[in-house]
Chain A
Amino acid sequence: MKIYGVALLAFCFLLGKLIGNYLGVLIGLQSDVGGVGFAMLLLMVSYTYLKKKGLVKEMTTQGVLFWSSMYLPIIVAMAATQNVKAAVSQGPIAIVIGVVVTLTGFLLVPLISKIGQSKNRE
């Protein structure tokens, strides 16, 4: 059933967030630290484990896939509910940073590829 997938996702989400929140308390932040990252890791580990055990059916996967496909529309809704008016009033900062950062990434491709390739050959 699809709900099994959604429930697995919910479990990983809550446990990941719990870890993130405890980590936050531990390092003196009153907030979630990397909870989403922990939840993703948990989902990957538990999903792979359950699949190996043969406990994951097609429908279970679809329950998670639905939410995974909802992430783009949700990001659109999130963009529409931000304080853009305040951001726009701060000038072309987004464009400058966005362009420079992406170009930096491009230029690093041949460099990092080289490191990886030499390591693969060893």
Chain B
Amino acid sequence: MEVAYKLIDKNGLVFAFLVVGVIMYLSFLVSEHLFRKKIPGVALAVFAGLILALLGSKKGIADIPLFTGMALLGGSMLRDFSVVATAMGADLSKIKQAGWAGIVGLFAGVFFSFFVGVLLAYFLGYRDIESLTTIGAGACTYIVGPITGAAVGASSDVIAISIAIGVVKTIVATIGTPLIAKAIRLDNPHSALVFGGLIGTTSGVTAGLAATDAKLVPYGAFTATFYTGLGCLLCPSLFYFVLRAVF
């Protein structure tokens, strides 16, 4: 046991790959068989991660010596690196095709998510600008939240809330989209482009559109691809300064 323990301790990152792989596998299994894909496996996996984090405190599961590698895998370096990589899926020439509808939807989506999030956080008792900014960013997606939180220097518990908000958003988008699609006239590529820009969480948008009409998925996913980048650009800079000027 001593030997195995030492081995894992020395190869923390590799062990983290295994742990996350198992979490993802189980989450997709549960998503498929228990929820009949109504809740996406990705959302369940992130939820599982948040629950596992309860085993520790400040650094979540990485507080347990065996799982220190999780902090490296989930740390800012690899996270930002992989998020940047997702931009390749978006072709610049396609931005032109998306046209005004997608661009307006994209900016409106980030803008409204952020400021509705900030307003709600304010009513719920948050007053310091760093926490408000981070929670507003979390209302964009569960990636914009922690990246913004790290940039403005928010506390880890507020960053955790911002991730949780993003996860709730993904789940609501997945379950709610097919239910509300007719009422919001989400039945053509044009509105799907706008929808992707407004909601922004790629997994929620794709899963929600797939449940509504599979043909709409690429249009929604396309604008959603830009959402996180735009959020990461605006939230810790322009929006943060707007809040600093207001409060």
A: which residues have CB within 8 A of B?
A: 9-10, 12-13, 16-17, 23-24, 27, 29, 31-41, 43-45, 47-48, 61, 64-68, 70-90, 93-110, 112-113, 115-117, 119-120
Contacts and interface: CB of A to CB of B under 8 A. Distances in A.
Chain A contact residues, majority secondary structure: helix
B73 A108 contact: no
Interface residues of B, number: 115
Contact of A116 (B20, B86, B105, B146): B105
B120 A109 contact: no
A81 B84 contact: no
Contacts of B3: none
Which 10 A-B pairs rank lowest in CB-CB distance, beginning with the nearest? A116-B101, A98-B168, A37-B233, A86-B157, A77-B74, A79-B49, A78-B74, A94-B164, A40-B87, A87-B160
Contacts, number: 331
Contact of B84 (A40, A78, A103, A107): A40
B70 A80 contact: yes
Contact of A119 (B101, B124, B191): B101
B8 interface: no
B229 A73 contact: no
Contacts of A83: 53, 57-60, 155-157, 159-160
B116 interface: yes
Contacts of B88: 9, 43-44, 47, 61, 64-65, 68
B52 to A, nearest CB: 5
